């Protein structure tokens, strides 16, 4: 199978996407083609044999061939010809904006291309933490209490500590723990640098956290092992950044069978039919034996490959089990009836 990996994008998580994409060389056994989306939204074909982080940091990627997207896929043009890069499926590893917000998914859908990533509706739900809360509650999945504020609103915090998060951002960027009122203004300034809306939740010290990834293949769930991430106060950017380059399988959480079952059933509720065609990771909290959804990672760091025994096979099987778009036949029957009624 030939897999085209699309990464980069105009996002605060641009560099993280690069790290995730490079990690795929170590975990996918298929033939890989790399397509980089730069800050000008130009696509470049990066040779798999030479890809490394320095190519992007130095700007030398601009020496690579530009490609354009069409209904044939990614097209490389020369002076006298144009040729599509051979592929069976696109794997979208564009974290944050452009990738997780549904921009690229919309393009791939528009051109009717096969791709692994959440579809537009799923992106809308998972990219926005405020909408994620509502989606979870509609499925009878618990979430931590929260307050939503837009930039310029008067923020009121009744008790501390709290955690302040930008609404539309991942990788713990812009996230702060606020222990008392003296720290609030700075935390708000940090969060509003990245987004014009925030949510504030109570920070519960020592709360248990578990990560679970998975997808649907031929209508059946394929789930990863459950990880209990090791963290200090909370899983900050520096610790999460290491996850994006992880390629070694992690240890499975030592938890009771009843809790394992609860986590898996909650994941299935969240995945539902909305996320078909994507491999996602859900991060859960457990408090007093109750499972709470923390967040949905629609395009997780390094695709959470480290949670699977055979990640390459999962991606290959998922690529063969993608949702099909309904074909709509345009007949002009209605227009013709109108014209006939007018006698024209």
Q: What is the C-alpha to C-alpha distance for residues 29 and 91, in angstroms, rounded to an integer? A: 14
Minimum mean pLDDT among 66-75, 199-208, 306-315: which range? 199-208
| pLDDT at residue 136 tops 60 | yes
**What is the pLDDT confidence band of residue 328, given thresholds at 50, 70 and 90?**
confident
Q: pLDDT at position 301, please? A: 92
Q: Dump pLDDT digits (tens) for 195-218.
A: 899 999 999 988 999 999 999 999
CB neighbour list of residue 54: distance below 8 Å, 6 or more residues apart = 60
Mean pLDDT of 50-78: 94
| pLDDT at residue 87 tops 80 | yes
Q: pLDDT at position 79, please? A: 75
| pLDDT at residue 261 tops 90 | yes
Question: What is the percent of the chain where pLDDT is above 90?
Answer: 80
Q: pLDDT at position 234, please? A: 53
Find out whether the peptide bond into 161 is cis, omega within 30 degrees of 0. Answer: yes
Q: Domains in the chain, ordered, with CATH?
A: 2-118 (3.40.50.20), 124-140+205-319 (3.30.470.20), 147-202 (3.30.1490.20)
Residue with structure tokens 């690579």? 64
Query: Rounded mean pLDDT of the chain?
Result: 91
Q: What is the C-alpha to C-alpha distance for residues 194 and 74, in angstroms, rounded to an integer? A: 31
Q: pLDDT at position 342, please? A: 75
Closest C-alpha among 278, 231, 19 to residue 127? 278
Closest C-alpha among 219, 285, 279, 291 to residue 24? 279
Instruction: Give the phi and the psi of residue 135 in degrees, each rounded to 5.
Output: -60, -45
Q: Could you tell me the end-to-end alpha-carbon distance of the chain, in angstroms, rounded to an integer?
A: 54
Q: Where on the phi/psi map is residue 118: left (φ > 0), alpha (ψ -120 to 50), or beta?
A: beta
Q: What is the C-alpha to C-alpha distance for residues 301 and 322, in angstroms, rounded to an integer? A: 21
| pLDDT at residue 135 tops 60 | yes
Q: pLDDT at position 233, please? A: 55
**What is the pLDDT confidence band of residue 169, given thresholds at 50, 70 and 90?**
confident
Residue with structure tokens 């641009």? 14
Q: pLDDT at position 338, please? A: 86
Q: What is the C-alpha to C-alpha distance for residues 249 and 306, in angstroms, rounded to an integer? A: 4
183 class by beta-carbon count within 10 Å (0-12 exposed, 13-18 middle, 19+ buried) = middle
């Amino acid at each position: 199978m030939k897999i085209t990996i699309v990464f980069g994008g105009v996002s605060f998580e641009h560099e993280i996407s690069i790290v995730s994409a490079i990690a795929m060389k170590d975990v996918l056994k298929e033939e890989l083609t790399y397509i980089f989306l730069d800050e000008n939204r130009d696509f470049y074909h990066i040779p798999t044999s030479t890809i490394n982080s320095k190519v992007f940091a130095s700007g030398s990627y601009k020496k690579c061939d530009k490609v354009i997207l069409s209904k044939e896929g990614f097209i490389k043009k020369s002076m006298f010809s144009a040729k599509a890069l051979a592929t069976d499926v696109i794997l979208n590893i564009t974290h944050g904006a452009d990738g997780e917000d549904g921009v690229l998914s919309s393009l791939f859908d528009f051109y009717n291309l096969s791709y692994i990533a959440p579809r537009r509706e799923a992106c809308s739900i998972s990219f926005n933490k405020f909408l994620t809360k509502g989606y979870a509650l509609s499925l009878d999945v618990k979430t931590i209490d929260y307050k939503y504020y837009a930039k310029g609103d008067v923020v009121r915090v009744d008790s501390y500590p709290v955690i302040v998060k930008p609404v539309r951002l991942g990788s713990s960027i812009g996230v702060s723990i606020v222990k008392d009122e003296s720290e609030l203004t700075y935390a708000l300034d940090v969060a509003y640098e990245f987004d014009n809306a925030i949510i504030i939740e109570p920070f519960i010290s020592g709360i248990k956290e578990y990560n679970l990834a998975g997808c649907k293949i031929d209508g059946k769930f394929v789930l990863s092992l459950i990880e209990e991430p090791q963290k200090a106060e909370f899983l900050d950017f520096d610790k999460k950044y290491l996850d994006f380059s992880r390629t070694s399988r992690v240890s499975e959480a030592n938890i009771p069978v009843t809790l394992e079952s609860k986590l898996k059933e909650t994941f299935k509720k969240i995945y539902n039919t909305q996320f078909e065609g994507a491999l996602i990771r859900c991060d859960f909290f457990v408090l007093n034996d109750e499972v709470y959804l923390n967040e949905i990672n629609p395009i997780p760091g390094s695709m959470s490959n480290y949670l699977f025994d055979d990640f390459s096979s999962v991606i290959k099987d998922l690529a063969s089990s993608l949702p099909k778009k309904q074909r709509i036949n345009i007949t002009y029957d209605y227009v013709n009836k109108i014209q006939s009624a007018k006698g024209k």
